[in-house]
Amino acid sequence: MGQTRSQFSEEELQDYEDLTYFTKKEVLYAHQKFKALAPEKVGHNKNAKLPMSKILTYPELQVNPFGDRICHVFSSSQDGDITFEDFLDMMSVFSEAAPKAVKAEHAFRIFDFDGDDMLGHSDLKQVVEKLTGENKLNDSEMQLLINNILEEADLDDDRALSFAEFEHIIDRSSDFLNAFRIRL
């Protein structure tokens, strides 16, 4: 612990505490976890930038079907590579303390594969494909499922979910808050 503490100054920790949903101790703990991914690199530079493949060895992200999307969303360099600060941002959003609105915002970005700020047909299809993994729904089932989703949530009939519509669903979904969480 003492060694880790020396990597951060008190002001930095205060910054992190103010700007994330973590306490100082949790920030340090997060750093330990980050360091465990690439001990040497992070040992030299506490805010080292790790490539996406390295980040995806983090247990929860490794098995998460949206792991690469998560990396892309949180990567400050937009290429999926993650620095410690990005990692902290990520874990902060996934923490228990983060409010629903913040989680919804990021979830929307994660699910928005083509980045057009709408969850369209292709986005939904990709989400479902990632969810079911190796088991594939056939085309008609997929079509039916997507139609059902849109029927439920697409209020303005533009065959895509805007953020407002997505947030509306999330507000109603009691499971989302539980599911969209990674304990540090």
Partner 1 sequence: MSGGDKKRKHTRSQGWEPAGSEFYQESYPMDAEEIMPQDPKHLATLLPSKQSRAGATLRLRTYDQRTATTRRWQATNQTQKDSTDTAQHRRPSQGEVQVSMLPDLSQNLSNEQSTWEEVMLIKAMPIPMDEKKKLKEKILNQPNLRLQGYEQFKWKRRKAWDHTMIRVNEMFTKVELWRQSLKHIEGNFGTGVVAYFLLLKWMFFLNLTIFISIFLFITLPTILLKDSQGCTEIKDLVNNASYSTDSVDFNFLDLFQGTGIVEDTALFYGFYPNETYCYLVNNTKLYYNLPLAYLLITLLYFLLSLINIVKSAARGFRERLIESEGQFYQYCNLIFGGWDFCIHNQASADIKHKALYNEIKATLETDKSEEERQNRTRGERYVIIFWRMTAFLVTVAVWGFSGAAIYFVFDISTRELEKEIDDKFIQFVYQFLPSFCIVLLNMIVPQIFKRIVVFEKYCPANALTFTLLRSVGLRLASLFVLYYSLFSKVTCHNKENCTEMECWENYVGQNIYKLLWTDFATHVFTTFFLNFPRALLAKHCNNKVFKALGQQTFELPKNVLDVVYSQTLCWFGFFYAPLLSAMASLAFFLIFYIKKFACMNNSTPSAVVYRASRSNSMFMSVLLFSFVCALLPIAFSVSEMTPSTMCGPFSEHASVWQLIVQIFSYTPDVIKTVGHFVTTAGFAIPMFVVLFLLLYYYNAINAANRHMVTVLKNQLVLEGHDKQFLLNRLSMFIKENQKKERHRNADYYENTQHRNISSSN
**Which 16-45 positions form the footprint of partner 1 (CB under 8 A)?**
16-21, 23, 25-26
CB of 3 to partner 1, least distance (A): 20
Q: Restricting to residues 125-164, which ones interact with partner 1 according to CB under 8 A?
A: 127-128, 131-135, 137, 141, 144-145, 148-149, 151-153, 155-158, 162-164
Q: Does 5 bind partner 1 (CB under 8 A)?
A: no
Burial class (CB in 10 A: 0-12, 13-18, 19+), 51: middle
Stretch that binds partner 1, among 2-10, 33-41, 49-57, 105-113 (CB under 8 A): 105-113
Q: Does 85 contact partner 1 by CB under 8 A?
A: yes
- The residues pairing with 82 across neighbouring beta strands, listed in sequence order, are 50
9, 45, 57, 62: residue in contact with partner 1 (rule CB under 8 A): 62
Helix%, strand%, coil% for the chain, nearest 5: 65, 0, 35
In the complex, minimum distance from the CB of residue 131 to partner 1, in angstroms, rounded to a whole number: 5
User: Site residues for partner 1, window 109-128 (CB under 8 A)?
Assistant: 109, 111, 115-118, 124, 127-128
Q: Are 160 and 121 in contact (CB under 8 A)?
A: yes
Token pair recorded at residue 134? 């190796």
Closest by CA to 41, choosing from 20, 55, 29, is 55
Distance CA(140)–CA(147), nearest Å, equals: 10
182: contact with partner 1 by CB under 8 A: yes
